[in-house]
Amino acid sequence: TYRDGNQARQIAYEISTSEMFVPYMEPSKTWAYRAYMDVGEYGFGALSSPLKAGSDCPANAKFLDATISDDHGKPLRLKNVVCVFERDTGDPLWRHYEVFTESHESRPNVELVVRMAPEVGNYDYLLDWVFNRRGEIEVRVGAYGIDATKAVAAKTMRDATAKEDTAYGTLIAPQLVGVNHDHFMSFRVDLDVDGQKNRMVVDKFVPKTLSGNPLRRSIWQVERSTVDTERAFEPMHESAYFRFESDNTLNALANPTSFQLAPGHADLSILSDDEPQQQRAAFSGASFWVTRYHPDEAFAAGVYPNQNRKTEGLPVFIENHESIKNEDLVLWYTIGFRHQTRAEDWPVMPVKRISFMLK
């Protein structure tokens, strides 16, 4: 919620990691099967790691424990796996300088960060939920850890076997190749913008050619349309914005209140549709999906992704093309990046960050 004076304004009921897909690009017998579903097969909650004051989180952070179910359904307490802190970004929230009166008005932007760090095998993921003073919510993912490597004969790229040894990765140390791979994480955003009844609006920027106007030759205008049924969306670009409007709440100027999806850069899977690993993680082939809320539709790749024999999850959720106009909507956004390994990733890789925002 966002506090607007004395009123609590709804934004979303829940924002959560739904699934993560990490396929490695090496077709040999010992690597072909390596396409991990880090949430569905292992669990970010179960693998939450303790956070360290002064490095993982600022020294002034408040640390929280979490209680989850173990493999037998009994409570398991995890110590210091969440931290909460404020930070000064070093940027102004807003500013203006008036040269004629030499007046300067600005305010610092301070963020509230809620952080956790699941450790899945060789990778650590830092997940930040960031709340700022503009009423925006940003989700940031940082990938850390140690590259998955395979042994090779080549010590340098001058060796005779180097070209063959590096067909599927980069020589990152003598006789070690870091294998190329992807990371795709689906976030489930159960939106409730000023209530549960919402609709999705596309603001498309359309160039217009003007004739008979001596002052201008061209402009662009906004053409608005409503998305009426569940669907997946292709890679996003700057020619459209995507908003989620309240069905029954207007602002002071009588426009429907809304939140806009501000996507960050995100790669999509480019594996073929008949690739078995891709079929298990079909969510990674679209920028984002919009569905009507159902309590049993909680996971982008289905309930049991490590046992799937066919495509499940989001492609199945949208098959019936349910109406999403003035309904309880769920946005599924895919964060993704391709990891072409490099020497600087070894022995411990520096962070790779990617994010999206609701504003």
Active site residues: 38, 123
Q: Cα 54 to the chain's mean position, in Å?
A: 26
Q: Distance (Å, rounded) from C-alpha 76 to C-alpha 254?
A: 50
The DSSP result for 273-284, as a single string, is TT-HHHHHTGGG
CB atoms within 10 A of CB 250: 11
CA–CA dist 328, 196 (Å, integer) = 5
Contacts of 137 (CB under 8 A, 6+ apart): 11, 12, 15, 129, 130, 131, 357, 358, 359
Tell me the C-alpha distance between 350 and 344, whole Å: 8
Comparing C-alpha atoms, which of 284, 91, 312, 251 is closest to residue 182? 284
End-to-end CA, the chain: 13
Q: Rounded distance, CA 106 to CA 7, Å?
A: 26
Distance set, CA 335 to CA 19, 188, 311 (Å): 11, 11, 20
**Which residue type does 323 have?**
S
Strand partners, 7: 4
Tokens standing for 315? 């492609």
DSSP SS3 for 345: helix
Q: How far apart are CA 353 and CA 127, in angstroms?
A: 10
Q: What is the longest distance spanned by two Cα atoms in the chain?
A: 76
Number of neighbours of residue 289 by Cβ within 10 angstroms: 23
15: nearest Cα among 190, 192, 136: 190
